[in-house]
Structure 1
């Protein structure tokens, strides 16, 4: 089958959505399917015949995200040449709108993955407010209902979308990982290169270092844990706006020598970094799936985390780590870290369970579920009409989808003023 993926973030951008798209497209190609990606221009991106880069504003509002510029003819020509059987949208706005437009005009199914709790990212937009958060919720909900299928990366998100009023069929399918990659990491080699003693216990964190990741809380929890565990090290892998603030906080506490922050790592360097960690610390509550947790567990690392969407599905308290209440204090988080770090036998037991948990996220299993969803949608789709009637069909479909997109945006603006069932739904 031929699959076109629309995404606002893509390689070499480092983040959950970009990684998810890459993992899925590689899995589809490995099974003999053709995949094309439509994404914004991004600094450092390598040209590829399989990827259409559309003009975009770089580093929007000081972030590392790009905002595409409206040039529909470029997308149309690209898809006319490719003739996809299905379109997979990874965002409900910008290129997500383009995905719907092309899907309706070409009369092919449109799948949408609800990767993000968009209302928790409105600080990247000027005039952030509660009203803007409600608009984001309503816009995403209405977008879901314009698609043929919705993918929720976890059961928590699937339940939330149903509560918000999504009537399109919802399938809970997480992004898969390759467990073997993380199992073969060279932790000893990484420690040697980083100057970390083999006798040290290492607390690790991997991810995009951004305000919505609750990194201030994490730093406050890590400081007493490091102080209580002589010789322990904090390994911070990743980059972002909050990196400097985190490092400054450790410096204020006199612990700058106990922190190793190599920045973004990929491939074997990342696998080695995971293998060097003894306990993984994770405080974010804005996730839709715990992909970095699955990676850590594949490397045999127990996790200490706060309860939240995407996290509760994989962290099993007392089994493969410690799952604390969402309202837990930094002191309680610190104590959980110290308990695991100070008990090698407990760490070993949790490590074995962690490896078993990671198998549920094997990308073969996850991609098989996604391809099954694709196949079902394509088989249920009525055959396309004769080519000579397509210009008229496209005109009518174009008018219909523009009306639906306009209605969705009006609905979102209304939600900014008046609560709706979607904005009233709460994530437990």
Structure 2
């Protein structure tokens, strides 16, 4: 099968979506499928990427680590036609997600969309963030699902949320996979030695972007409370971002800054070894659709203490592989971590963590993704362009623009449904597709 993927984030960006796309691509290729990824140009990207097409992008959008792709669809069609895709898989509902919809409509291919992110938690990266912008983010992703033949949700929680929002009902739950065998093989002793931590130290760990939406000031407060009462406890933080300063200040104000250890970004075996330098994993984000780092931590044999949130509740089970807590209660989180200072207690939860991780192995997840592809192909795409002459191509592209125009109209109606402008943009019925665009 030839699979064409579109993503706004890709290597060298470190983050859940970027890692998920890379891992899925690699696993599908291992299984014998051909994958072509369309991604933005980024500083530090690999020089040789035979299976990746890069498009122009604005770097460090609004001061973030993200780029803003500026796709020029016309430049992509030659490469797409040479690849001869069987299906299009979009990993975002905007920017290159729009280009994915154009490609699928133009060539009469099924369009699959993975709803990786709760976008309303990320509007602070956009100038003028407001409740209206959050409504826009929800409407944009929800309405995008209606352009697709099938939608992939990383967890049951996200599937239920999408259905509540009125999304396309053809939703399949397929978690982002993890190479559990690889993450089970690590040696954290070198990192402990580098940080001056002995074997008796109790190391609480966290991995991820140190970003505002990850609820990290709260996590720092909770771990600080633990460190005040547990002199052998340390906090190992892997990753980087704007929240690092706030975390350090919380530790400094409590007099435990010397036991907060920031490693910066780690990759490959160094990242796996960092997990194995930890005794327990702490997580407080409310914005996850799955929390891939939770599975990575469990594959390394770590119990997890996390705050209940969509996606997280499908991974963490209190008393089995860690503790799942309700709400931002810093003392409750500190107490749960303190309970796991006992090694015998950790060992009991370790077996549950390893068992949970096996259910998220990337081989199983890739097989489920392929099944979604096959069903969509069997059902047929939105249009059939079996005779790809010049007129068919033009009609397909015009049809794609028409579908995107209708999509944006539905988004605007959702955003302004309670606003004075509603009457200017709302119509009793959507305009019908022009006859010339139809097959």
Name the TM tier (shorter chain): over 0.9
Say whether residues 1:63 and 2:71 are aligned partners. no
What secondary structure, in the 3-state scheme, does the structure 2 residue paired with 1:88 have?
strand
Q: CA deviation at 1:260?
A: 1.2
Counterparts of 1:21 and 1:328, CA distance in 2? 31
Counterparts of 1:398 and 1:385, CA distance in 2? 11
What secondary structure, in the 3-state scheme, does the structure 2 residue paired with 1:121 have?
helix
Q: CA deviation at 1:386?
A: 4.6
What secondary structure, in the 3-state scheme, does the structure 2 residue paired with 1:209 have?
coil
Is contact 2:178-2:296 (8 Å) kept?
A: yes
Number of equivalences: 417
Give 5+ residue unaligned stretches, structure 2. Answer: 420-439
Say whether residues 1:281 and 2:290 are aligned partners. no
Q: Deviations over 1:245-287 (max 9, x none)?
A: 2122212222121011111111110111101111111000100
Query: Structure 1 length normalisation: TM-score?
Result: 0.95
Aligned to 2:182: 181
Counterparts of 1:27 and 1:60, CA distance in 2? 30
Aligned to 1:411: 410
Counterparts of 2:145 and 2:384, CA distance in 1? 23
Counterparts of 2:240 and 2:311, CA distance in 1? 22
Q: CA deviation at 1:407?
A: 2.0
Aligned to 1:334: 334
Counterparts of 1:245 and 1:139, CA distance in 2? 32
Aligned to 2:324: 323
Aligned to 2:314: 313
Once structures 1 and 2 are overlaid, which stretch shifts more, 165-174 or 306-315?
165-174
Q: CA deviation at 1:163?
A: 1.1
Q: CA deviation at 1:32?
A: 0.8
Q: Deviations over 1:174-208 (max 9, x none)?
A: 00101111211102232123322111000000011
Counterparts of 1:167 and 1:273, CA distance in 2? 40
Aligned to 1:116: 117
Aligned to 2:375: 376
Q: CA deviation at 1:381?
A: 2.0
What secondary structure, in the 3-state scheme, does the structure 2 residue paired with 1:176 have?
coil
Q: CA deviation at 1:127?
A: 0.7
Say whether residues 1:293 and 2:275 are aligned partners. no
Q: Deviations over 1:304-358 (max 9, x none)?
A: 1110011000100111111001x241111111111112x2211110111111111
Counterparts of 1:400 and 1:218, CA distance in 2? 48
What secondary structure, in the 3-state scheme, does the structure 1 residue paired with 2:245 have?
helix
Aligned to 2:304: 303
Counterparts of 1:58 and 1:362, CA distance in 2? 33
What secondary structure, in the 3-state scheme, does the structure 1 residue paired with 2:359 have?
helix
Is contact 2:151-2:168 (8 Å) kept?
A: no
Give 5+ residue unaligned stretches, structure 1. Answer: 421-428
Counterparts of 1:53 and 1:360, CA distance in 2? 34
Is contact 2:8-2:40 (8 Å) kept?
A: yes
Q: Deviations over 1:65-113 (max 9, x none)?
A: 1111131122212212211111100000000000000110011111000
Once structures 1 and 2 are overlaid, which stretch shifts more, 281-290 or 391-400?
391-400
Q: CA deviation at 1:414?
A: 2.4
What secondary structure, in the 3-state scheme, does the structure 1 residue paired with 2:38 have?
strand
What secondary structure, in the 3-state scheme, does the structure 2 residue paired with 1:280 have?
strand
Counterparts of 1:112 and 1:262, CA distance in 2? 34
Say whether residues 1:207 and 2:208 are aligned partners. yes
Q: CA deviation at 1:168?
A: 4.2
Aligned to 1:426: none
What secondary structure, in the 3-state scheme, does the structure 2 residue paired with 1:361 have?
coil
What secondary structure, in the 3-state scheme, does the structure 2 residue paired with 1:134 have?
helix
Is contact 2:163-2:169 (8 Å) kept?
A: no
Counterparts of 1:375 and 1:35, CA distance in 2? 15
RMSD: 1.5
Counterparts of 2:414 and 2:367, CA distance in 1? 37
Q: CA deviation at 1:242?
A: 1.1
Aligned to 2:349: 350
Counterparts of 1:312 and 1:203, CA distance in 2? 20
- 1:57-136 mapped onto 2 (5 Å cutoff): 57-136=58-137
Q: CA deviation at 1:419?
A: 5.6
Once structures 1 and 2 are overlaid, which stretch shifts more, 242-251 or 45-54?
242-251
Aligned to 1:423: none
Q: CA deviation at 1:244?
A: 2.1
Once structures 1 and 2 are overlaid, which stretch shifts more, 160-169 or 124-133?
160-169
Is contact 1:131-1:415 (8 Å) kept?
A: no
Counterparts of 1:140 and 1:171, CA distance in 2? 16
Is contact 1:148-1:168 (8 Å) kept?
A: no
Aligned to 2:432: none
Aligned to 2:146: 145
Counterparts of 2:251 and 2:125, CA distance in 1? 26
The 1:168–1:101 alpha-carbon spacing in structure 2 relative to 1, beyond 3 Å, is farther
Is contact 1:134-1:412 (8 Å) kept?
A: no
What secondary structure, in the 3-state scheme, does the structure 2 residue paired with 1:312 have?
helix
Is contact 2:107-2:385 (8 Å) kept?
A: no
